[in-house]
Amino acid sequence: MEITTVGIDLAKSIFQVHAVDAVGHVVVRKALRRAQVVPFFAKLPRCLVGMEACGTAHHWARELMSLGHDVRLMPPAYVKPYVKRGKTDANDAAAICEAVTRPSMRFVPVKSTDQQAALALHRTRDLLVKQRTQLVNMIRGLLAEFGIEMARGLRHALELAARLSAGDAAEVPPLAQRVVTGLADQIGAVQIQLTRLEKELLAWHRDSDLSQRLATIPGVGIVSATALAASVSEPERFRSGRQFAASLGLTPLQNCSGGKERLGRISRMGDRYLRRLLVVGMTSLIRRAKATPTSVDPRLPALLQRKPVRVVTVAAANRTARVAWAIMTRGGTYRAPLAAAA
């Protein structure tokens, strides 16, 4: 019997394979070690291969596609309903094999190595920013033990650490001064790494036409533009800008029963990193709208007069996601809305 569909449950060392023929009969159900995966699929005729979209899925998808197979990645949340009973690798592989054949299943495009390299920059930068924040908070907490209040911001932390190293804070014991100085040195090292990563992102941004066009959207900087360009491989698979915004978790949850529809909070599903970047960008835009209302879209200050700030921020992030989808699918750059006629 010829294998037509294969579901593979990815792991670090042991990969579970579940293969069926054209009528759905199980042909292969076995575990493979990492070195056995490529030789196993090299012997198979061209078939449909399903995987869950996880950390190593894009690498294995490219490997199997080079062998001629039709590889499709699926969000793990969409595969879970097909698990029969019990959480085992064999049951997961069988669920993947069944889910990949469903006509209503949504698939994740396979990313290229260039896109994954850009996303590696983003993940590393995000980690370093978190570490920098932890170090600053640690310094603030240590100094609070000695009655010293530190203003918010990286600059204030480094300035205060410099004062301590110079011996300008007599109320802090010498041992604590050395500890805080060591933490400040770590912040400086992290800042140097962040500067290098941001230079790499800037170079990637200058080489990407899509990223440059996305950066024309108000509130979307180099970090957000490069993240969108690297993360979204096939924007045309979304039928509308609203569907793209929904994939980022920026649309409200729907609760419909008995013909009555109620909208709740945003779903917060999908790519958490992209959603956070858009919300942070819109937070900056809202601050600019409060300071100089004439420098932003006139609809934004008007909306701020009617709605809470956080609601407006998320709504602006939703709209920005739709604008980004339009630019990615139709080309061009951002065009400011025309002022209403008097």
Predicted confidence (pLDDT) per residue in 280-303, tens digit: 999 999 999 888 888 888 888 888
Distance CA(182)–CA(8), nearest Å, equals 48
Distance CA(276)–CA(48), nearest Å, equals 35
Question: pTM (2 decimals)?
Answer: 0.86
| 167/326: higher pLDDT | 326
In the prediction, which pLDDT does 170 show?
64
10, pLDDT greater than 60 = yes
CATH of domain 5-99: 3.30.420.40
| 341/280: higher pLDDT | 280
169, pLDDT greater than 70 = no
| 144/69: higher pLDDT | 69
What are the C-alpha distances in Å from 66 to residues 15, 58, 60, 309?
19, 12, 10, 50
132, pLDDT greater than 60 = yes
Mean pLDDT score across all residues of the chain: 90
In the prediction, which pLDDT does 340 show?
47
22-63: per-residue pLDDT in tens? 998 999 999 999 999 999 999 999 999 999 998 899 999 999
Distance CA(222)–CA(205), nearest Å, equals 7
Distance CA(260)–CA(25), nearest Å, equals 44
268, pLDDT greater than 90 = no
pLDDT band at 1 (very low <50, low <70, confident <90, very high): low
Q: Is 163 exposed, middle or buried (0-12, 13-18, 19+ CB in 10 A)?
A: middle
pLDDT band at 85 (very low <50, low <70, confident <90, very high): confident
List the strands of the sheet with 5-9, edge to edge.
Answer: 26-33, 14-20, 5-9, 48-52, 70-74
The residue-averaged pLDDT of 127-141 equals 92
Helix, strand, coil: what percent of the chain each, to 5?
55, 15, 30
Beta-bridge mates of residue 17: 8, 30
Tokens 């140097």 correspond to what residue?
A: 192
**Domain map (residue ranges) of the chain:** 5-99, 113-207, 213-330
Q: Half-sphere exposure of 233 toward its Cβ, with a 13 Å CA cutoff?
A: 14
Count CB neighbours of 305 within 10 A. Answer: 7
| Strand duo 48-52 + 70-74: pairing | parallel
215-267: per-residue pLDDT in tens? 999 999 999 999 999 999 889 999 999 999 999 999 988 888 777 878 788 88
Distance CA(281)–CA(228), nearest Å, equals 13
pLDDT band at 342 (very low <50, low <70, confident <90, very high): very low
Distance CA(14)–CA(59), nearest Å, equals 16
In the prediction, which pLDDT does 130 show?
95
Which residues lie closer than 8 Å to 234 by C-beta, 6 or more apart? 109
Long-range CB pairs of 31-34, under 8 A, 24+ apart, other chains included: 31/89
Q: Is 271 exposed, middle or buried (0-12, 13-18, 19+ CB in 10 A)?
A: middle
pLDDT band at 185 (very low <50, low <70, confident <90, very high): confident
In the prediction, which pLDDT does 260 show?
80
CA 186 to chain centre: 27
In the prediction, which pLDDT does 270 show?
86
Q: What is the rounded end-to-end Cα distance, in angstroms, of the chain?
A: 74
pLDDT band at 339 (very low <50, low <70, confident <90, very high): low
Which residues lie closer than 8 Å to 193 by C-beta, 6 or more apart? 128
Q: What is the DSSP string of 96-149?
A: HHHHTT-TT---BPPPPHHHHHHHHHHHHHHHHHHHHHHHHHHHHHHHHTTT--
101-129: per-residue pLDDT in tens? 999 999 999 999 999 999 999 999 999 99
